[in-house]
Amino acid sequence: MSARQPGKLGKTLRKVLPWAGTVLLLGYLAWTTDIDAVGHALSEVSILAALAVAFAGTMLTFLADSYCVGRVFSRFVLPVGFREALPIKATSYFLNILNYNAALVGMAFYLQRSRKAPFWKSLGALFFLNLVDIHALCVLLLIGLLTNLGAEFLSAGELTVAWGAVAGGIGGFWLLLVTCRFDIRLPVISRVLRLDLLRPLAEAKVGDVLVLTALRMLFLLLYIGSQYLFLRLFGVEIPVVRLLVYMPLLTFIQIIPISVSGLGAPQLVMRHFYRSYVKGPASGTDGVIDAFSTTSIFGFVMFRVLVAYLFLGEFSREVIERAGKEEAVPGA
């Protein structure tokens, strides 16, 4: 077998496995869903209120996200104003439906075509922002764990995983930052750390990290707030401090590449996390959670596409068409 054939096989598997995972997870959800309970839960919810929460949450997070993208580009690539950042982020919202890599490629490609910015430097700035997102999620999870000390809402195993994520996420982020910032020589790893993709890690100052982490925490809190309101609409009376634990854990589960756009796995875990907070008979709790998760996912996706469309121009559509053909981030 030629060297090219294994490469094609690996590429095919990377494309097929997430779709296979999506089919299996959604198939299991459909098999175990109580349609009558879901229908009853939906009939009890005000559609106008749900639409209002979804639209407001989408709009606020879109604006906050766009501001952060403009700020990170301005710090590590070239000056990008808030208004210029809006179509860049709008481009990613459409491409994110395909896959996360396509969204990153699209934003970097947009800046390259519109401002002649170096592609890998732009992609590196976005990669750095993603690492800050993980750091911010872990900080929120830490705050959530500390504010819920003594409350028995997680099993011993789940609590171990949560504290492990906090230690690994925060500690790993700062270790990587220090390694790049001071050019610490490490076998093999040092070569990787010199790539343009990771250059912002070497250029970032402590102040940059603290400011971006605070901004991303605000962005995440806006999302958590919208989810909290959405849960209340469905009669899921969950304390906000619990969501500071649940939402980061659900986000980490969602980014595991076992399905397309993280569909399936978070919905199953939501049943486990949220069922004890549902008002009404225990027999219908999973139906309420399924109604919430399905409505919130498709509602927010629908408004993301709608809001993003308002900020798209002809150039953005060209970028989407070009970047959408990329199945993964190209090699350095």
What are the tens digits of pLDDT across the range 110-139?
Answer: 888 888 899 989 999 999 999 999 999 999
Residues 6+ apart with CB under 8 A from 188: none
Q: Which of 229, 214, 220 has the alpha carbon at shortest distance from 247?
A: 220
Q: Are the beta carbons of 41 and 287 closer than 8 angstroms?
A: yes
Half-sphere exposure of 26 (CA within 13 A, CB side): 13
- CA separation for the pair 18, 260 (Å, rounded): 5
Identify the band that residue 104 occupies on the pLDDT scale cut at 50, 70 and 90. confident
User: Minimum mean pLDDT among 58-67, 239-248, 259-268, 308-317: which range?
Assistant: 259-268
More confident residue, 178 or 34: 178
The predicted structure's pLDDT at residue 328: 42
Q: Which two tokens stand for residue 238?
A: 């969950």
Judged against a pLDDT cut of 50, whether residue 199 lies above it is answered with yes
- CA separation for the pair 108, 328 (Å, rounded): 13
> 236: which strand partners?
278
More confident residue, 13 or 101: 101
Judged against a pLDDT cut of 50, whether residue 1 lies above it is answered with no
Mean of the pLDDT values across residues 1-18? 57
Q: Which two tokens stand for residue 300?
A: 């927010």
- CA separation for the pair 146, 23 (Å, rounded): 37
Mean of the pLDDT values across residues 224-249? 93
Identify the band that residue 36 occupies on the pLDDT scale cut at 50, 70 and 90. confident
Q: What value does the mean pLDDT of the chain take? A: 82
The predicted structure's pLDDT at residue 124: 92
Q: Which of 213, 200, 174 has the alpha carbon at shortest distance from 122?
A: 200
- CA separation for the pair 167, 147 (Å, rounded): 17
- CA separation for the pair 150, 157 (Å, rounded): 15
| CB under 8 A, 24+ apart: contacts of 240-243 | 241/144, 241/147, 241/148, 242/144, 242/148, 242/153, 242/277, 243/144
Q: State percent of the chain over pLDDT 70.
A: 76
Backbone phi, psi, residue 108, to 5°: -65, -40
Torsion region of 75: left, alpha or beta (phi above 0 gives left; psi -120 to 50 gives alpha): alpha
Identify the band that residue 332 occupies on the pLDDT scale cut at 50, 70 and 90. very low
The kind and range of the H/E element at 308 are helix 285-310
Q: Which two tokens stand for residue 327?
A: 């199945």
Q: Which of 331, 300, 256 has the alpha carbon at shortest distance from 97?
A: 300
Q: Which two tokens stand for residue 320?
A: 């989407």
- CA separation for the pair 214, 218 (Å, rounded): 6
Mean of the pLDDT values across residues 70-96? 90
Torsion region of 33: left, alpha or beta (phi above 0 gives left; psi -120 to 50 gives alpha): beta
Identify the band that residue 296 occupies on the pLDDT scale cut at 50, 70 and 90. confident
> 278: which strand partners?
236
Q: Which two tokens stand for residue 276?
A: 């004890």
Identify the band that residue 257 occupies on the pLDDT scale cut at 50, 70 and 90. low
Q: Are the beta carbons of 248 and 133 closer than 8 angstroms?
A: no
Identify the band that residue 103 occupies on the pLDDT scale cut at 50, 70 and 90. confident
More confident residue, 47 or 19: 47
Residues 6+ apart with CB under 8 A from 309: 90
Q: Are the beta carbons of 96 and 144 closer than 8 angstroms?
A: no
The predicted structure's pLDDT at residue 214: 97
Judged against a pLDDT cut of 80, whether residue 239 lies above it is answered with yes
The predicted structure's pLDDT at residue 190: 58
The predicted structure's pLDDT at residue 56: 93
The 8-class DSSP code of residue 275 comes to G
Judged against a pLDDT cut of 90, whether residue 216 lies above it is answered with yes
